[in-house]
Chain A
Amino acid sequence: MPEATASDNGSGGVQIDLFSGNRMANLTSMEKIRLILDGVRDGNIVILEEGLSPDEESKLIEVTMAEISPDEFNGIEIETYPRSQTADQSFLDRLMGRQSTQKLTVIGPANQIQTLHKDENLISALVSRK
């Protein structure tokens, strides 16, 4: 997937940041989380070509909770295609607690994004302006 940024903030639109798997692969877990939360706190919708690992998802929730503040930031909305079942994991992956991150993930500010529909092939979301 190409890495792209569509920006129309000057006219009150919604910016969408799409991060390629390659871009994220070179980042540490905390760098990924920072990148996501900085974007979302600016009011952007962040789309990851490849999602986060379970450990990173857990840390994303933890850091999000630490940053919630009244009348400023009330958290994130996150949607991912259903994770493929563990049957396709290798024994080593299971032993090490690793799971495939081959899944597109959409993350946005909780007060701006509302999921309308999700199934194995489609995430449909309504994004409102601030």
Chain B
Amino acid sequence: MGLLTDLRDSISRVVDRLFSESEPKRIGIYGPPNAGKTTLANRIARDWTGDAIGPESHIPHETRRARRKENVEIERNGKKVTIDIVDTPGVTTKVDYKEFLEHDMEKDDAVRRSREATEGVAEAMHWLREDVDGVIYVLDSTKDPISQVNTMLIGIIESQDLPVLIFANKIDLEESNVERITNAYPQHETVELSALEGENMDEVYAKIAEYFA
């Protein structure tokens, strides 16, 4: 891409954001599969609108299509923000239908699920480049956060100059280690939480209102 095109695109992104102050911000919830993205999206949506976004499951790629909850108003500490929450499929560089067979699925169902998952990830990547105003990056705090996909995704988000909050989820589990995440990505603020148990959600909402307002 040429220098002028780069500059034009960059200026256009900044101008778009300046003039869209009154519009709800589209906040993409990204992260690896099974980090708890849908559980978090449901928790936020239920707390502020009364409705959930989608089904949660321990099976990888339960969320195969991005789901959106519009006009979620979050208010904390005098700051208020209206966001559209976009819950995205877990980003990965590989999808093998055989993994789903281990979850008591027939081959046809597993193949269909893997096709939907690949389409969903491709869509989520496209939106990350074009359509989100900010990112909540959800990591499972019981797992090593330094994976290639996480490093790449956070690099992509940084290159877009998108505001990003890292959420260290699953702190209710004994193996949780939030420090590994704060050490891995010290350039971003990390907020610990349990989306399943609703732990530390006050701070979660305070940070969302602060970062995305």
Contacts and interface: CB of A to CB of B under 8 A. Distances in A.
Interface stretch (A8-16, A17-25, A41-49, A94-102): A94-102
A64 B95 CA distance: 10
Contacts of B91: 61
Given A70-B111, A70-B114, A96-B10, A58 B95 contact: no
A55 B155 contact: no
A58 B10 contact: no
Nearest to A92: B7
Interface in A100-117: 110-111, 115
B131 interface: no
Given A77-B93, A95-B10, A62 B125 contact: yes
A97 B159 contact: yes
B159 A99 contact: yes
Given A62-B126, A65-B119, A85 B187 contact: yes
A28 to B, nearest CB: 9
B196 interface: no
Interface string B55-97: 0000000000000000000000000000000000001111111
Interface residues of B, number: 32
Contact of B114 (A53, A58, A68, A78): A68
Contacts of A94: 161
Contacts of B92: 75
B41 interface: no
A65 B129 contact: no
B95 A79 contact: no
Nearest to B129: A58
A61 B125 contact: yes
Contacts of B158: 54, 86, 99
A53 B111 CA distance: 32
B111 A74 contact: no
Contact of A57 (B119, B152, B160): B152
Contacts of A29: 1
B121 A61 contact: yes
B124 to A, nearest CB: 9
B131 to A, nearest CB: 13
A82 B151 contact: yes
Nearest to A96: B6
A59 B130 CA distance: 12
A77 B96 CA distance: 12
Interface in A67-90: 68, 70, 74-80, 82-83, 85-86
CB-CB nearest 3 A-B residue pairs: A75-B94, A54-B159, A110-B94
Interface of B: 1, 6-7, 10, 91-97, 111, 114, 118-119, 121-122, 125-126, 128-129, 146, 148, 151-152, 155-156, 158-161, 187
12 contacts: A61-B121, A64-B93, A65-B95, A68-B94, A68-B114, A74-B94, A82-B146, A86-B158, A96-B7, A97-B10, A97-B161, A99-B158
Given A75-B92, A78-B93, A94-B161, 8 more contacts: A54-B155, A58-B128, A61-B91, A62-B125, A64-B93, A78-B148, A80-B151, A98-B6
